[in-house]
């Protein structure tokens, strides 16, 4: 695996220990998950134990330590989506994709996740495909959505990854803990 | 008809742009605020009666007053955009559609407490909100509303954005501070409170986005005008996020104290398919449910407390007749078990046992005594956890058990 981008990402934050969360997010945006080798690079560059990086990577739910599909399909099961039929949508997705929530398809095309409230309750039930929301889902709509994604042949364009905006002001001058 | 205050720009084309904000009277409170002393501003906010909109309802002026006034002490302000309470989508709208209103509130607030550095902590899932924040901050710098010597006043403020990564607990202020420092988002022991020792050990004021949006209006239109909205103890406008089985889900801004019935029927268009209401969650998933006979409850801090619930974030989830309440309760319990940070045993173990037991009951595997077990677990969690997440998990389960005991008992006999 080509991890050339990792030192570049770390350099953006000037190897600042307090930026570890932002660094991990940028790495995940690049590779769709956190490869172990990348975590090792982060630990070495920030001069922290690998266990510290691992603590972060396992605490925050948006990180994955396993490769994920090109399309990450998230079905919202927050209370509002739940009462409007979220579980039926998840059920349909599991059937259409032939995988269970939390799994990735063998061809690495899809990852299916059941997620907590995504804060778009007025559109419930909501499905996110690579963070792009599809609201007012029905079983039929869910089937159609997967058909559409599946018909996009071959090299599907990289997920519509938002170019990750950097913090607009650097933290120079802000005291660091332990210093 | 109530004239919108916080959402007055929402829906206006290009409302997120600085020029549109300016053309609609934006950034006019700022020079007025900078012409006053910090003490005057703190007094104005105290007199307005503004209370935090993130869930706890703590008086904002009092919170500002806790910050040390010595200018030699470095202080910080944090903008809590980690909106995660299920059913809540107001801060998302405020940030996506009117980010400059929030920024104006942040500048005035920071000036009032003597902070020259402010941090936005935004939920990782809010990609659009993040982009809007970054653009709005850049524009505010360019026009001289941020940076050194704001509007020639000699006061300076820097503001930057930081993303969360999918942890509900980071909405709790001390957990958010930990995360901003580059650590796991585990809550801290209080005291010391953030106003004494917060971010990087410095006095820190943490406010919810909606709370901050009120500040420019209080400065511009006066605390007496503000205190005239709502009820004597719950003043000002409030955004209610209405979802679930209603015809027109969405954000509705009304004075605090608006009756729940009016919100559901006049604004959100009533219940889908004309169904009867079975239960209403008044303030997000962590608040205990209300029953149809409580629809006349005014939506303010005191009335909801009296009704045995909480205003929370003002996220109204309407549940229609025909919904399985055991399933709803199981879903809520599962959410909190998933989001428990794992630090203290009553929460880590308690929320998991709640979820497991409800799973069993929902799927028809329930055992006699499970309902007592659930009640006992709630008892063991409430008031005994390190941070409020435990209470947030136990209170809705306990209420649901009280209200729908028959339904739970029927499930133990056989699944629905």
pLDDT of residue B223: 98
CB–CB contact B165 A62 (8 Å) = yes
The minimum CA-CA distance between A99 and chain B, rounded to whole Å, is 21
pTM: 0.93
Task: Examine residue A157 and state whether it is found in any structural domain, yes or no.
Answer: no
Task: Examine residue A14 and state whether it is found in any structural domain, yes or no.
Answer: yes
- In three-state secondary structure terms, A97 is helix
What ipTM score was computed for the predicted complex, to two decimals?
A: 0.91
B351-357: Cβ within 8 A, 24+ apart: B351/B381, B351/B389, B351/B390, B351/B393, B353/B377, B354/B378, B354/B381, B354/B393, B354/B394, B354/B397, B355/B330
Task: Examine residue A109 and state whether it is found in any structural domain, yes or no.
Answer: yes
Domain identity same for A115 and A76:
yes
Residue A169 has pLDDT above 60, yes or no: no
Q: Name which of B88, B161, B163 is nearest A119 (Cβ-Cβ).
A: B88
CB–CB contact B87 A121 (8 Å) = yes
Q: Tell me which chain B residues have a C-beta less than 8 angstroms from the C-beta of A60.
A: 124, 164-167, 184-185
CB–CB contact A122 B249 (8 Å) = yes
The answer to whether B287 and B309 have CB atoms below 8 angstroms apart is yes
Task: Examine residue A165 and state whether it is found in any structural domain, yes or no.
Answer: no
CB–CB contact A82 B327 (8 Å) = yes
Residue range B23-41: mean pLDDT, rounded:
98
Nearest to B240, CA basis, from B226, B224, B255: B255
pLDDT of residue B1: 80
Percent of chain B residues past pLDDT 70, beyond the cut: 100
- For residue A33, what is the DSSP state? S
Q: Which domain holds residue A134?
A: 71-151
- The two tokens of residue B106 are 């942040």
Size of interface A-B (CB pairs under 8 A): 158
pLDDT in tens, B58-95: 999 999 999 999 999 999 999 999 999 999 999 999 99
Residue B122 has pLDDT above 60, yes or no: yes
- Taken in order of first residue, the domains within chain B and their CATH numbers are 18-227 (3.40.50.11540), 237-320 (3.10.20.600), 325-413 (1.20.1440.230)
The answer to whether A33 and A65 have CB atoms below 8 angstroms apart is yes
pLDDT of residue A153: 57
Q: Name which of A83, A118, A177 is nearest B317 (Cβ-Cβ).
A: A83
Kindly report whether the peptide bond that precedes residue B191 is cis, defined as omega within 30 degrees of 0. yes
The tally of domains found in chain A comes to 2
pLDDT in tens, A79-113: 999 999 999 999 999 999 999 999 999 999 999 99
pLDDT of residue B186: 95
CB–CB contact A168 B338 (8 Å) = no
Task: Examine residue A97 and state whether it is found in any structural domain, yes or no.
Answer: yes
B204-208 vs B76-81, strand pairing mode: parallel
The answer to whether A7 and A41 have CB atoms below 8 angstroms apart is yes
CB–CB contact A177 B181 (8 Å) = yes
């Amino acid at each position: 695996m080509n991890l050339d981008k990792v030192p570049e990402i770390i350099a953006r934050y000037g190897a600042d220990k307090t930026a570890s969360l932002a660094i991990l997010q940028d790495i995940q945006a690049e590779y769709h998950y956190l490869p172990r080798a990348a975590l090792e690079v982060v630990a070495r560059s920030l001069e922290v134990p690998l266990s510290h990086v691992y603590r972060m990577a396992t605490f925050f739910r948006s990180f994955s330590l396993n490769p994920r599909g090109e399309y990450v399909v998230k079905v919202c099961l927050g209370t509002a989506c739940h009462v409007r039929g979220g579980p039926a949508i998840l059920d349909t997705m599991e059937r259409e994709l032939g995988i269970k929530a939390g799994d990735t398809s063998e061809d690495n095309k899809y990852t299916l996740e059941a997620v907590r409230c995504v804060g778009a309750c007025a559109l419930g039930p909501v499905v996110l495909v690579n963070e792009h929301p599809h609201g007012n889902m029905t079983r039929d709509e869910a089937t159609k959505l997967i058909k559409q994604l599946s018909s996009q042949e071959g090299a599907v364009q990289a997920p519509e990854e938002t170019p990750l905006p950097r913090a607009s002001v650097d933290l120079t001058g802000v005291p660091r803990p332990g210093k | 008809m109530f004239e919108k205050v916080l959402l007055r720009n929402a829906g206006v084309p290009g409302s997120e742009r600085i020029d549109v904000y300016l053309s609609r009277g934006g950034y006019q409170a700022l020079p007025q605020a900078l012409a006053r002393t910090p003490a005057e501003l703190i007094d104005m906010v105290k007199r307005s009666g503004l209370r935090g909109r993130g869930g706890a309802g703590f008086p904002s002026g009092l919170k500002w007053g806790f910050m040390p006034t010595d200018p030699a002490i470095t202080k910080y302000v944090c903008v809590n955009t980690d909106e995660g309470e299920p059913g809540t989508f107001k801060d998302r709208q405020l940030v996506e559609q009117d980010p400059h209103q929030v920024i104006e509130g942040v500048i005035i607030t920071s000036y009032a407490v003597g902070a020259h550095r402010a941090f936005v902590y935004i939920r990782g899932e809010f990609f659009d909100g993040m982009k809007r924040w970054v653009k709005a901050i850049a524009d505010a710098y360019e026009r001289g509303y941020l940076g050194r010597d704001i509007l020639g006043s000699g006061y300076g403020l820097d503001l930057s954005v930081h993303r969360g990564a999918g942890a509900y607990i980071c909405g709790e202020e001390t957990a958010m501070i930990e995360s901003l420092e580059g650590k796991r988002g585990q809550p801290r022991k209080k005291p010391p409170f953030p106003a004494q020792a917060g971010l990087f050990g410095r006095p820190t004021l943490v406010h919810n986005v909606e709370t901050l949006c009120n500040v420019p209006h209080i400065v511009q239109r006066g605390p007496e005008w503000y205190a005239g909205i709502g009820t004597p103890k719950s003043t000002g406008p409030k955004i209610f996020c209405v979802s679930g089985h209603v015809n027109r889900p969405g954000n509705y801004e009304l004075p605090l104290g608006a009756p729940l019935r009016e919100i559901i029927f006049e604004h959100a268009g009533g219940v889908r398919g004309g169904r009867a209401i079975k239960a209403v969650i008044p303030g997000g998933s962590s608040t205990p449910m209300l029953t149809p006979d409580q629809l006349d409850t005014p939506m303010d801090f005191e009335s909801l407390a009296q009704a045995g619930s909480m205003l929370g974030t003002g996220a109204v989830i309407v549940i229609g007749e025909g919904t399985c309440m055991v399933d709803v309760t199981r879903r809520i319990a599962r959410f909190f078990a998933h989001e428990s940070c794992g630090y203290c045993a009553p929460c880590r173990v308690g929320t998991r046992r709640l979820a497991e037991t409800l799973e069993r009951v929902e799927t028809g595997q329930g055992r006699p005594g499970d309902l007592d077990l659930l009640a006992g677990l709630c008892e063991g969690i409430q008031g005994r956890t390190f941070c409020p997440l435990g209470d947030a998990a136990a209170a809705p389960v306990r209420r649901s058990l009280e209200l729908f005991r028959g339904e739970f008992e029927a499930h133990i006999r056989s699944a629905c």
